[in-house]
Structure formats: structure tokens, C-alpha cells
Copies of this chain bind each other. A is one copy, B any other.
């Protein structure tokens, strides 16, 4: 059982990985300020992941976290994919484009990626974390043998028990409030939609692992609340989106600063898995859409193509503008200053 301070992290704040938003610069800034910075490499290949890890290491001597997606292997289903593209076709048409002829999984699950494992074993980042599930015992043993401390997210007690049984060191309790992809292991299961308050307390009392609370935490008061619930640390994602070190584009930052921040939507329409997004054209369409999505991340191929077509026509409302329910409380400042301020507020 590894506690957060034994990692050499002085401030119990984890910057959430946020693939596509976080950067080595963001992670390093957070880690250098005493928190635990994270990069998300789930949506890139081995070369991309290696470059991100090396770039992070070049900017900090402190521990940082490398996050991987461990989703079930996407199942190709031509009929479902054709129907999904047909459902999306009117949206493409609206922006003078056509849907792609076929869809492919955009990236490989860590469960299937031996090269990614070999690279991680070679580079041995201080913390490796998993989303959407836990890898096999072999992979876990390989990472532990080179000293990686392992986190995995859980959205309910059943998943938390799987995390514990897998030999993971800490659980990220991802509440319903949290932005981005919900870490549910099997999206076909009914989701109990546990809020951060209930989930954190359940996992702290009913498992033996240290818990990191995530979801709806935006400031020092939220961090204190997470610690009061018995969490070892608080994980904040949305709080860091507007930092200059993030790779969020101008439209995303604008949406985050708008009234839309008060209305986030959990939708499968963008990627094929439930994810919380700022209310926009895509979530609006998704709410009305009943067709079954292709498997994650096959559906994401369509979602990204639609976003590209819409953006080319000047419409940014089909982007994956992930955000949690605390979005209206975000602040725009350099990550190091934000981390310092968060911890001053909490103390």
C-alpha cells in the first residue's frame, strides 16, 4: 500500500491526465510545484507516448503520472458502424461534408499493446495509471518490477474491488461530476452514477487501498472536503483546462468561460463511451439520438471527422470539450500559481 506522500509528492493534488488537453509542460509545472502532474498517453502510439514521457522528464525531476486506456478491445461491427454514419450524415451535410466511408479504432488499448508495455518498462515513469479497467497481472507485475506506482480509476465499489485484486496501489474514485471519459469498466452495465461525495466515502470505508477523490473539485475547499472524506489526495482536471500550459484551443477556452459551463452532459455520442462534455451542438444532438454507437474508440473516429468538418465551416460546437460539473469555478492562470493557490486555500 503506497500513500501519496511516499511518492515524494508534497501537495496532495493530482492534475488529471486528460488526454488531448494535458501536456508535458502542464504536468511538469504541477509536479515542480509539489503536486502530481499527469500526462495522458492513451490516445497516442508508442512513439508519441515516449516523446511525451521524455518531454515531461526533461522538465521535472519530480514524480509524474502517465495514464493509459485499458478499454476492452473494440469490436468492429459493420452494420452498427454504417447505421451510425447514416445517423451522422445529415450533420456532415450541414457543413458541406460527407461522413467517412468507414471507421477504425483510433488507438489501441494498453491491454493489447505489448510495445507500449516494453517502452514503459524501459522508461519506468514514477506513476502509471489506468482508465477503463485494469491490465493483466503480467503487465502489472512488469510495471511494478521497475518501480512504477500504479493507480486505477473506479466508479463504483465493484470496480474498486477489481482494482484492489489486481494489485494496484491506489484507487482514483471518479465521481459522476467528473469531466471527460467516465472510467466505467464495462459501459454495457447499468451505471449507478455515484457522486464524488458518496463514492469517495464508500471506497474509503469499504476497501483497503488509499483513495484519490475526483469529480467536481475546483478549489481549496473542494480539496479539504476530499481529504475530510478520507481521500489521500484530490484529483482535479477541469480546474487546469484554462491554464496556459494546456493544449485546449481558443474555442474550448471560450466555451469553458461561457454559460455552457453550467450545463455539462454525459454522452456516448462523441466517442462511443460515456464522457462528460460542455453542452454544445454534439451533446445536444447526442441527447436526441437513439442509435447505438459503435464501440469505443471506433465511434470517436466519426466524432473527430465530424468536428473537423464543422470546424472547417466555422462551427466549433462538435468538439470534445470535456469538462466536469464544477466548470464554472475554473480559473485561468499558470499551473504553478494555480497549484500554489489551491493548496493555500486548502490549508
Instruction: Check: A167 CB closer than 8 A to any chain B CB.
Output: no
Q: Are A325 and B194 closer than 8 Å at their CB atoms?
A: yes
Q: Are B201 and A218 closer than 8 Å at their CB atoms?
A: yes
Interface stretch, picked from A72-80, A85-93, A103-111, A219-227, is A219-227
Taken together, the copies of this chain in the complex come to 2
**In the complex, chain A residues 200-239 whose Cβ is within 8 Å of any chain B Cβ:** 201-202, 204-206, 215-219, 221-222, 224-230
**In the complex, chain A residues 166-225 whose Cβ is within 8 Å of any chain B Cβ:** 175-177, 190, 192-199, 201-202, 204-206, 215-219, 221-222, 224-225
Which residues in B have their C-beta under 8 angstroms from that of A120?
A: none
Are A329 and B221 CB-contacts (below 8 A) given A157-B262, A228-B228, A262-B157?
no
Query: Given the complex of chains A and B, what is the CA–CA distance between A219 and B175 in angstroms?
Result: 18
Q: Are A206 and B175 closer than 8 Å at their CB atoms?
A: no
Query: Given the complex of chains A and B, what is the CA–CA distance between A202 and B325 in angstroms?
Result: 9
Q: Are B325 and A192 closer than 8 Å at their CB atoms?
A: yes
Query: Given the complex of chains A and B, what is the CA–CA distance between A224 and B224 in angstroms?
Result: 9
Q: Are B216 and A224 closer than 8 Å at their CB atoms?
A: no
Instruction: Check: A326 CB closer than 8 A to any chain B CB.
Output: yes
Query: Given the complex of chains A and B, what is the CA–CA distance between A333 and B215 in angstroms?
Result: 32
Considering only CB atoms, which chain B residue lies closest to A346 in the complex?
B228
Additional pairs, 10, CB under 8 Å, beyond known A195-B196, A222-B229, A224-B228: A175-B197, A177-B198, A192-B262, A192-B263, A193-B325, A195-B195, A197-B215, A197-B217, A197-B222, A225-B225
